[in-house]
Structures are given as structure tokens and as C-alpha cells.
Amino acid sequence: MLDYSTCDWLAGYRSFKLKGLPGPDSMRAAVLYGREDLRLEQVPRPTPAAGEVLVRVEVAPTCGTDLKVWQAGGHARMLRPPTLFGHEFAGVIAAVAEDVTGWQPGERVVANNSAPCYSCFYCRRQRFSLCENLTFNNGTFAEWLKIPAAIVRANLLRVPAEVPLELAALTEPLACVLHGADEARVQSGDRVIVLGDGAIGLMLVAVLAERGAEVILCGGNPDRLALGMQFGAVGSLDYHTVDDPVSCLRQLTQVRGADAVIEATGRPAAWQTAIACARPGATVILFGGCPRGTTVTVDTENLHYNELTLKGVFHNTPDHVREALALIASGRLPLERLISQQLPLERLSEALVHMRERSAVKIAIRP
């Protein structure tokens, strides 16, 4: 029997005056027990405490991070099994705590999966992704999701009526992409290499192409590379088809190397490829989180004499979250092509197998 008393998401599971919803009930949720061990269970529905909002999850897209969590059976810093998981969603407010103002049941919303504290050393310096007290929220693969007060205050947004919720649900990953694209300081006409043909790599292609860059996408899946061309890439490279991807990529960037390189794979070898493809003076964005304890080697001569800028970029900021939803609402990016299919919550394991096999970019789970 699962001991629910250990689960964070039940911390607010107590009686509290609510606008909009009768007393506590149960809900269907995907509970992760261990490596690729996921069970659909009936669990208590969370009840919003002070400052919190309860949302009916309408759509929860799968993401590469969910795949990692499923395969690892948890997340070292955030999710100890048994646990709910999933972090991208859009839905409809079902109830709000009595002290919450400005939000009503029935409103269509999307929330980021985190919020900064606005008071720590880094927040005071506007470095919100480095916040020492980031509040995270997980558990979108469930019928209901409680939004913590910090996220209600900083990163809960109304979805415009004309925007489908499955697109609005891409706000969080797109916000991360905008953060990475901004840090790359790309100018119109720049030749930029994106390494990685996952959803993040493809969104990077779309965003950078829209900013006037000539983007070359490098990945290992022909279907996704073709999607990258639809997203505005001017060229692509399947690294399986060549002996020396670095020299091929340099050929595609006038031999000099790329004006900017963005790595979105989370593999140390790709980090090294990224650095090796950069022209003198380039910025290299190291975007994909690698497994803990891994290292890369950097050629000191290349780094020094070529004045490379190597930048780690993590997560997003509240400004990027707002910009991401506005960009989705503009309809300028064909983001619907990232959603390979829709599946009910009962078929989440199957969806994650598709993700593992790379036969889907993202799958919209409908709880």
C-alpha cells in the first residue's frame, strides 16, 4: 500500500475554504514507482491551501525530462518514488483558495513548472533561473494539479481564447528555448548550428530562424531533421551518415565555423562537438543537462586565442514564460507539428515508450 503521507503533493491536503469546489475527492494519476514502473492509480485529489489554485489538467505534453525521470525511476533532486510526475500542462481552474485574488474557476490557464522567490541573492540580480529557492511543481500526469502559491504569483498565465490548450501547454519548454536563444545573442544573418533534434532543438530552430538566423540542425533522426527544415532550418546533418560530423558542420559554416552553436542533447560528446564547431568569437550555448558527474575537455588554445564564449543555460525566467505564451498565441511558429499524437492518461507508459524509441517528438496526454 502506498504511503501517501510521504508525498509532497499531499502537503496541502487539508481542509481549507475554497471558491468553486466541494470537499476533497480522489483522482486518477500516474504514479511512478521505479525505473519504467508507472501505475495508474486512484489517489486523493489535492486541495489548494493558502495562495494556491487547483487546476483540471486538460492536456499534459510529454517531454525529454519526463522520459529521463521515467527511465531513472525518479529525479535526484525533485522526485522520490512513489511520486506523481510530469511538468508541462494547460488546463482550467477548478478552485482557488479564499485568499487568492484575480483568478476564477473556469479560466483557461497555463503555468510554468517553477517560480523564483524574488528575494534571494540571485533574484535581486535578476538572475531568476539561478534562484536559490526555486519552487518546482510536478504531477501533471493526473486529472488535477495544485499550483503552489509562488507559481500562482509569478508564473500562472491566462490562455487567450483562440489558443488551443495543447499549444499553450508548450509555454514552459518554449520559455526555456527563448532563454537559450537570447543568451546566444544571435544577429540576423548569423549562421547558427543547433545540435539535437528533440523538441527543444526543433523549437530552437523555429525561434532562431524567425530571428533571421541561418540555422543548421544536426541530429540523428531523419524525420525530425525533415521537421527541422519545415521549422526554417537552411540545412541539416544526420550525424549517423558521416564519419566526422565536426568537419561536415564546419563545411556548412564556410569552414570558419558557426557564429553561434546551441547544444540541446545533454550529452558530453555533443558539448565537445558544439565547441569544436564554433568560429573565433562565437558563443556556444550548453543547454542540455548532462548526467551528473560527467565532464568535458576544452582545448585551451581554442578557447583562449579564439575568444570563445561558453555559456551554460538552465531553465527559464518569468519574462521568458510570458514571451513564450505570447509567441504561441501569435501563431507564427508551426508548433502543432511537435505534437505527434494525443493519448489518454491510461496510455502514458506507451507514450513514454514512443519517446524512448524516438518515434514521437511530443505526445499530448489527455487526463
Nearer to Zn ion, 133 or 247 (CB): 133
Q: Are 201 and 275 in contact (CB under 8 A)?
A: no
Question: Cα–Cα distances in Å, from 270 out to 263, 278, 288?
Answer: 7, 13, 9
Cβ at position 19, least distance to Zn ion in Å: 29
Nearer to Zn ion, 67 or 184 (CB): 67
Contact pick of 40, 72, 120, 229 for Zn ion (by CB under 5 A): 120
Cβ at position 121, least distance to Zn ion in Å: 8
Strand ranges in the chain using DSSP code E only, listed in sequence order: 18-19, 26-34, 37-44, 53-61, 83-84, 90-97, 108-111, 114-115, 135-136, 144-147, 156-158, 191-195, 214-219, 235-238, 258-263, 278-286, 309-312, 339-344, 362-366
Nearer to Zn ion, 78 or 120 (CB): 120
Contact pick of 53, 60, 63, 110 for Zn ion (by CB under 5 A): 63
Nearer to Zn ion, 86 or 257 (CB): 86
| Region from 44-52, 122-130, 145-153, 156-164 binding Zn ion, contact rule CB under 5 A | 122-130
Question: Taking CB under 5 A as the criterion, which residues in 132-191 touch Zn ion?
Answer: 173
Cβ at position 127, least distance to Zn ion in Å: 9
Q: Are 129 and 314 in contact (CB under 8 A)?
A: yes
List, in order, residues 6 or more apart from 256 with CB less than 8 Å away. 250, 279, 280
Residues touching Zn ion, count (CB under 5 A): 9
Cβ at position 306, least distance to Zn ion in Å: 33
Cβ at position 118, least distance to Zn ion in Å: 6
Cβ at position 346, least distance to Zn ion in Å: 21
Q: Are 31 and 41 in contact (CB under 8 A)?
A: yes
Instruction: Give me the numbers of helices (H) and strands (E) for the chain, helices first please.
Output: 12, 19
Question: Taking CB under 5 A as the criterion, which residues in 90-119 touch Zn ion?
Answer: 116-117
**In sequence order, what DSSP letters do the residues of 42-59 get, joined into one string?**
EEEPP---TT-EEEEEEE
Nearer to Zn ion, 57 or 63 (CB): 63
Cβ at position 300, least distance to Zn ion in Å: 34
Cβ at position 175, least distance to Zn ion in Å: 10
Contact pick of 40, 78, 92, 123 for Zn ion (by CB under 5 A): 123
Q: Are 252 and 237 in contact (CB under 8 A)?
A: yes
Nearer to Zn ion, 157 or 249 (CB): 157
Nearer to Zn ion, 121 or 305 (CB): 121
Residue 40: strand pairing partners: 30
Cβ at position 124, least distance to Zn ion in Å: 8
Backbone angles phi, psi at 77, to 5 degrees: -95, -25
Strand order in the sheet with 278-286: 235-238, 214-219, 191-195, 258-263, 278-286, 309-312
| Region from 60-68, 206-214, 266-274, 328-336 binding Zn ion, contact rule CB under 5 A | 60-68
Alpha carbons 111 and 100: distance in angstroms, whole number? 15
Nearer to Zn ion, 88 or 323 (CB): 88
Contact pick of 31, 131, 163, 200 for Zn ion (by CB under 5 A): 131
Cell of 338: 511537435
318 binds Zn ion (CB under 5 A): no
Helix 64-72 and helix 348-357, axial crossing angle in degrees, nearest 10:
100
Helix 222-230 and helix 199-210, axial crossing angle in degrees, nearest 10:
20
Cβ at position 342, least distance to Zn ion in Å: 17
Nearer to Zn ion, 123 or 353 (CB): 123
Q: Are 105 and 57 in contact (CB under 8 A)?
A: no
Q: What residues make contact with Zn ion under the rule CB under 5 A? A: 63, 65, 88, 116-117, 120, 123, 131, 173
